């Protein structure tokens, strides 16, 4: 590895131009490699003094660099004051693999819309060329992604690994400008550079010079009681990527995998991509590959160097381009020809003055070069012992040509003082810490390690830089992978589901068992005792349809509920990414980052059942639903079906309103709609919310077809049962909802904002101004078994909550001796009528209220003609028949936002504005 200081090379004389494959035709006066390399306090950096041509900020202290001189790292573009060089704690990007404690791959998704900086090259991200990890705060360019290592958060126990103590997971930069240091309490964020550190678990922030004195163990911060602790989650993920384990949409990941991962310009498009340049140019560009794999994929890096330079500096520039922190003496450049590599074409051996090499270069400039490690008869290999829970990070072992895996294991055990242990009880595991996937391979006992290392370096030097070798104890672990397979026909018995799975998925009964069956949802949970069988079923289910319905399959983690802390109440989060335009997608990302991604579920992948099944044994938990009222009703409906299988049968539910009306969220004080509040503050508000009870209602729809002679012709369709939380409407109210629903189905892409949605509602309403329906002649109403005479109305609405049509008070606040004051938990429905579109508009404007008709807990409606009906915003045309509304068993528990929390947020917002103002004034 590179030392913490890159010093000036010893031989700085004026060498012959022939010593370099890129030397100019004129004699070099002095080598550019002789410029001073400046000392830094953190390893890996290679600083040189540069002249600044535009306003620049220091990456260490984030202050402005006054004057014309700065110090730039040639590897990672770290810019610094001269005074900050010796105080630096941030290591160079090329050293990032050495800091990884437990390798965990990233889950790359599309970039956000905010200004961010790349964690590898430290430059600002630009548009679609950027990626962000869905689980941690890692932002990188597409070209830089392969140079980032697998240092994502460890969110579960994988197989036999057991990590009881969790340290802070530090990520550099991309903090809010108002972030304050945990140590010195000064501002540590910056919007100008990649500066400051943040723990991805507890959220504390600190300066790069301060975070090193913070105690390493993380307590998970303010949200500790809501976070599903990683020690309580176990998943066997050997054959599954992290995207599968976290149930993250794979559409973007597929595009990413099919794209080039490295800087691969088209050689025919620009002059900069050519390996040669005009004789007058002071710079020229080399096309460099880092191994055979890069040659096959045509993945190269362009290295720009002066025409007059030494061999050693050329090699060093190539190493810097690939973020390899090694010394150039151990590497060489080889010519890449049309027929592949030829050994006699090696012309850039360090310090060589081969005449043949000089003549080859003088005749032509090679099109491309391959960076190679020199073959050696011995090497030093680091063997990591992290999984043995020892105090030492790694053991350095000297390798010879005859060194085998077995002999290395013996040497390691001897150095660890475990000579009495049987070497047969240990394995040597090769771990490739790629940014997208961590690959593990158990090496055979007689494998020659020096040869193995040389093969890896020949394939890819970058891959070798991200490869580790671990010594691990052999353990007989029981393989159990849990899959949830849905989309099956509903209401079948065990044998019928087993027969379907054997017919369509060819499951092997001795490896697969049905652990849980959800007949109402048409889903089964499978326990599988073989990795390859689990992977086969997982992939095959996604390509299978039964009765025209597409199956889905999800990897389900095991929550070890006995390990949960006593005061822990983990939060189960459901997000509908289709609600609220892009806000649903951003919330999904934010909650995965703030919590454990295993407790955040995307409703477009398996619906609410996947999350409820995962939390089935958790003794006490809460639910947060991010979506509209329809989404909340969906979650409540599934919860009602599977309640008997949950240890916590009555979890309280909070709401982040992403819909158009959001009437239930208004009643529970969660607001009229999400408008970009800080997701962290939302979670704190959920933690401090009060639990209240709310009535739920069952609507039985018994449709019958009536022929002209008035005789019944049998039941048109079986009775239909619908659950209601907010309200149910018949007539003009439901007709407007139905027209809006049809408009949204025709052009769904346009319905991504509340403003547009409400505009469509207004347009649909104006078209109904001349509408005249004598609803009272088409309906008969009974309330608590008493006939109720209907006035001349066009719409009949049954209210469970005191909010309708985006916050309107349809019942009204006037006191009336005939009726009690409405409440959401009084077991009563309010029956209200409206006379038309104009009346509805007046109600929503606060000018009038509806026509109070009745109040009761058992409603029967006789429908004599087809009529529009809507329940909680879901509309349809109801055929003639009976509609019965009655209480739906136990009340549901909801979370109502605390009033004190609302006051705190207002005060915090005022304080934040004052801080921002003072920071701005100080900056000026």
Q: First vs last Cα of the chain: how many Å apart?
A: 43
Distance of CA 640 to the CA centre of its chain: 29
Closest CA to 885 of 831, 837, 825, 823: 831
Which residues are CB-neighbours of 637 under 8 A, at least 6 positions away? 723
**pLDDT greater than 70 at residue 417:** yes
**pLDDT greater than 90 at residue 675:** no
Q: What angle do CA 793, 797, 802 make, to 5 degrees?
A: 130
**pLDDT greater than 60 at residue 17:** no
Q: How confident is the model at residue 275 (pLDDT cuts 50, 70, 90)?
A: very low
Beta bridge partners of 203: none
Q: For 732-780, how does the pLDDT look when each residue is reduced to its tens digit (9 = 90+)?
A: 888 887 776 556 655 555 555 555 455 554 555 555 555 556 787 888 9
Topology agreement, domain 97-153 and domain 167-217: yes
Q: Name which residue leads in pLDDT, 285 or 274.
A: 285
Mean pLDDT within 592-612: 93
Which uninterrupted H or E stretch holds 433? strand 426-433
| Spatial separation of the C-alpha atoms in residues 332 and 339, rounded to whole Å | 20
Topology of domain 97-153 in CATH is Wheat Germ Agglutinin (Isolectin 2); domain 1 (3.30.60)
Compute how many other C-beta atoms are within 10 angstroms of the C-beta atom of residue 571: 24
- pLDDT score, position 838: 82
Q: For 170-181, how does the pLDDT look when each residue is reduced to its tens digit (9 = 90+)?
A: 999 899 888 999
If 0-12 CB within 10 Å is exposed, 13-18 middle and 19+ buried, where does residue 83 land? exposed
Quote the mean pLDDT of the chain. 80
Question: Under DSSP, is residue 12 helix (H, G, I), strand (E, B) or coil?
Answer: coil
**pLDDT greater than 70 at residue 358:** no
CATH of 379-473, one of 3.10.20.90, 3.90.950.10, 3.40.47.10, 3.90.550.10: 3.10.20.90
**pLDDT greater than 90 at residue 345:** no
Per-domain boundaries in the chain: 39-91, 97-153, 167-217, 283-336+366-374, 379-473, 481-556, 562-692, 699-705+718-896
- pLDDT score, position 198: 93
Q: Any alpha helices (H) in 623-774, and if so which ranges?
A: 629-642, 663-667, 679-687, 732-746, 754-766
**pLDDT greater than 70 at residue 161:** no
- pLDDT score, position 251: 59
Distance of CA 651 to the CA centre of its chain: 25
Mean pLDDT within 553-572: 91
Q: How confident is the model at residue 273 (pLDDT cuts 50, 70, 90)?
A: very low
**pLDDT greater than 60 at residue 847:** yes
Strand extents, DSSP E, 487-617: 512-518, 523-528, 545-546, 549-550, 552-556, 558-559, 571-575, 600-602
Distances (CA, A) of 19 to 180, 348, 351, 576, 733: 53, 8, 7, 63, 86
Topology of domain 562-692 in CATH is Rossmann fold (3.40.50)
Topology of domain 481-556 in CATH is Alpha-Beta Plaits (3.30.70)
Distance of CA 873 to the CA centre of its chain: 31
| Spatial separation of the C-alpha atoms in residues 661 and 672, rounded to whole Å | 7
**pLDDT greater than 90 at residue 27:** no
Mean pLDDT within 559-571: 90
Q: How confident is the model at residue 280 (pLDDT cuts 50, 70, 90)?
A: very low
DSSP category for residue 508:
-
Phi and psi, residue 861, nearest 5°: -120, 130
> Considering the domain 167-217 in this protein, what is its CATH number?
3.30.60.20
Q: For 617-666, how does the pLDDT look when each residue is reduced to its tens digit (9 = 90+)?
A: 999 999 999 998 889 999 999 999 999 999 998 999 999 998 878 899 99
- pLDDT score, position 746: 59
Beta bridge partners of 525: 484, 516
Q: How many CA atoms lie within 13 A of 783 on its CB side?
A: 14
CATH class of the structural domain 283-336+366-374: alpha beta
Mean pLDDT within 814-842: 86
User: 132-136, 191-195, 356-360, 447-451: which range is least confident on average?
Assistant: 356-360
Which uninterrupted H or E stretch holds 837? helix 837-844
DSSP category for residue 404:
B
CATH of 39-91, one of 3.90.1150.10, 3.40.50.300, 2.40.30.10, 3.30.60.20: 3.30.60.20
Q: For 80-113, how does the pLDDT look when each residue is reduced to its tens digit (9 = 90+)?
A: 998 888 888 888 999 888 888 888 999 998 887 7
Q: How confident is the model at residue 263 (pLDDT cuts 50, 70, 90)?
A: very low
Q: For 722-744, how does the pLDDT look when each residue is reduced to its tens digit (9 = 90+)?
A: 889 999 999 888 888 777 655 66
- pLDDT score, position 581: 66
**β-strand pairing of 571-575 with 600-602:** parallel
CATH class of the structural domain 699-705+718-896: mainly beta
Distance of CA 886 to the CA centre of its chain: 42
Among 227-231, 363-367, 421-425, 906-910, the range of highest mean pLDDT: 227-231
- pLDDT score, position 350: 38
Q: How confident is the model at residue 425 (pLDDT cuts 50, 70, 90)?
A: confident
**pLDDT greater than 50 at residue 122:** yes
Q: Which token pair is 738? A: 């139905």
Q: How confident is the model at residue 884 (pLDDT cuts 50, 70, 90)?
A: very high
**pLDDT greater than 90 at residue 716:** no
Mean pLDDT within 271-300: 70
Torsion over CA of 747, 753, 756 and 758, rounded to 10 degrees? 110
Closest CA to 784 of 886, 923, 636: 886
Q: How confident is the model at residue 901 (pLDDT cuts 50, 70, 90)?
A: low
| Spatial separation of the C-alpha atoms in residues 26 and 290, rounded to whole Å | 30
- Whether the Cβ atoms of residue 640 and residue 561 lie closer than 8 Å to each other: no
Q: How confident is the model at residue 391 (pLDDT cuts 50, 70, 90)?
A: low
- Whether the Cβ atoms of residue 431 and residue 443 lie closer than 8 Å to each other: no
């Amino acid at each position: 590895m590179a030392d913490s200081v890159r010093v000036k090379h010893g031989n700085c004389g004026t060498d012959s131009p022939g010593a370099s494959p890129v030397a100019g035709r004129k004699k070099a006066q002095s080598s550019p490699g002789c410029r001073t390399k400046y000392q830094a306090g953190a390893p890996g950096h290679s600083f040189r003094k540069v002249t600044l041509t535009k306003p620049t900020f220091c990456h260490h202290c984030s202050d402005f660099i006054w004057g014309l001189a700065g110090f730039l790292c040639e590897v990672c573009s770290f810019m610094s004051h001269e005074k900050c060089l010796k105080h630096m704690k941030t290591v160079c990007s090329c050293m990032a693999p050495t800091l990884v404690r437990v390798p965990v791959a990233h889950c790359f998704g599309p970039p956000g819309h905010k200004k961010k900086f790349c964690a590898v090259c430290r430059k600002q991200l630009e548009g679609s060329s950027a990626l962000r990890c869905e689980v941690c705060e890692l932002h990188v360019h597409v070209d830089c992604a392969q140079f980032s290592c697998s240092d994502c958060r460890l969110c579960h126990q994988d197989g036999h690994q057991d990590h009881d103590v969790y340290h802070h997971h530090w990520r550099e930069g991309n903090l809010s400008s108002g972030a304050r240091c945990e140590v010195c309490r000064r501002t540590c964020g910056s919007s100008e550079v990649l500066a400051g550190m943040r723990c991805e678990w507890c959220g504390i922030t600190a300066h790069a010079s301060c975070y090193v004195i913070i105690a390493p163990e993380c307590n998970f911060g303010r949200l500790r009681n809501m976070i599903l602790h990683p020690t309580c989650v176990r998943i066997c993920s050997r054959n599954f990527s992290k995207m599968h384990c976290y149930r993250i949409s794979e559409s973007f990941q597929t595009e990413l995998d099919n794209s080039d991962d490295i800087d691969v310009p088209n050689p025919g498009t620009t002059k900069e991509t050519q390996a040669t340049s005009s004789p007058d140019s002071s710079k020229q560009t080399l096309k460099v590959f880092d191994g055979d794999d890069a040659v096959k994929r045509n993945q190269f890096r362009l290295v720009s160097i002066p025409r007059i330079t030494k061999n050693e500096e050329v090699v060093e520039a190539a190493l810097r381009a690939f973020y390899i922190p090694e010394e150039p003496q151990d590497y060489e450049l080889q010519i890449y020809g049309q027929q592949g590599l030829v050994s006699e074409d090696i012309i850039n051996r360090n310090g060589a003055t081969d005449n043949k090499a000089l003549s080859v270069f003088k005749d032509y400039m090679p099109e491309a070069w391959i960076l190679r490690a020199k073959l050696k008869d011995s090497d030093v290999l680091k063997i990591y012992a992290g999984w043995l829970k020892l105090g030492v990070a790694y053991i350095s072992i000297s390798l010879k040509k005859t060194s085998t895996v077995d002999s290395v294991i013996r040497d390691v055990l001897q150095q660890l003082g475990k000579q009495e242990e049987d070497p047969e009880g240990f394995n040597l595991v090769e771990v490739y810490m790629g940014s997208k996937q961590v690959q593990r391979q158990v090496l055979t006992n007689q494998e020659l390690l020096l040869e193995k290392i040389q093969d890896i370096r020949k394939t890819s030097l970058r891959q070798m830089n991200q490869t580790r070798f671990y010594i691990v104890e052999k353990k007989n672990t029981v393989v159990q992978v849990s899959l949830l397979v849905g989309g099956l026909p509903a209401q079948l018995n065990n044998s019928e589901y087993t027969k379907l799975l054997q017919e369509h998925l060819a499951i092997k009964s001795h490896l697969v068992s049905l652990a849980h069956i959800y007949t109402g949802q048409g889903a089964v949970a499978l326990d599988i005792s073989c990795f390859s069988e689990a992977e086969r079923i997982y992939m095959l289910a996604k390509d299978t349809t039964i009765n025209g319905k597409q199956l889905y399959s999800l990897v389900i983690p095991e929550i070890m509920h006995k390990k949960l802390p006593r005061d822990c109440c983990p939060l189960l989060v459901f997000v509908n990414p289709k609600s609220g335009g892009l806000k649903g997608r951003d919330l999904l990302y934010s909650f995965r980052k703030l919590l454990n991604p295993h407790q955040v579920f995307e409703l477009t992948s398996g619906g609410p059942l996947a999350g409820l099944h995962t939390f089935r044994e958790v003794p006490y938990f809460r639910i947060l639903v991010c979506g509209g009222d329809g989404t909340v009703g969906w979650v409540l409906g599934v919860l009602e079906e599977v309640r008997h299988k949950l240890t916590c049968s009555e979890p309280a539910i909070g709401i982040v309103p992403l819909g158009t009306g959001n009437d239930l969220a208004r009643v529970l004080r969660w607001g009229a709609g999400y408008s970009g509040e800080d997701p962290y503050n939302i979670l704190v508000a959920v933690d401090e919310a009060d639990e209240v009870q709310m009535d739920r209602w069952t609507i039985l729809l018994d449709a019958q077809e009536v022929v002209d002679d008035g005789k019944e012709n049998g039941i048109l369709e079986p009775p239909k049962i619908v659950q209601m939380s907010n309200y149910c409407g018949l007539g003009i109210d439901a007709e407007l909802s139905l027209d809006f629903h049809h408009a949204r189905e025709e052009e769904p892409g346009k319905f991504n904002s509340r403003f547009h949605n409400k505009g469509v509602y207004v347009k649909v309403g104006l078209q109904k101004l001349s509408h005249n329906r004598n609803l009272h002649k088409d309906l008969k109403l009974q309330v608590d078994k008493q006939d109720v005479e209907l006035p001349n109305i066009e719409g009949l609405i049954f209210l469970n909550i005191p909010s309708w049509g985006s916050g309107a008070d349809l019942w009204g606040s006037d006191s009336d001796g005939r009726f009690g004051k409405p409440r959401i938990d009084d077991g009563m429905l309010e029956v209200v009528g409206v006379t038309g579109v104009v009346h509805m508009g007046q109600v929503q404007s606060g000018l009038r209220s509806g026509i109070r008709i009745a109040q009761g807990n058992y409603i029967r409606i006789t429908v004599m003609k087809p009529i529009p009906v809507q329940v909680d915003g879901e509309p349809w045309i109801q055929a003639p028949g009976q509609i019965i509304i009655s209480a739906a068993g136990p009340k549901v528990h909801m979370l109502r936002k605390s009033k004190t929390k609302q006051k705190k947020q207002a005060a915090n917002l005022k304080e934040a504005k004052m801080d921002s103002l003072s920071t701005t004034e100080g900056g000026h």
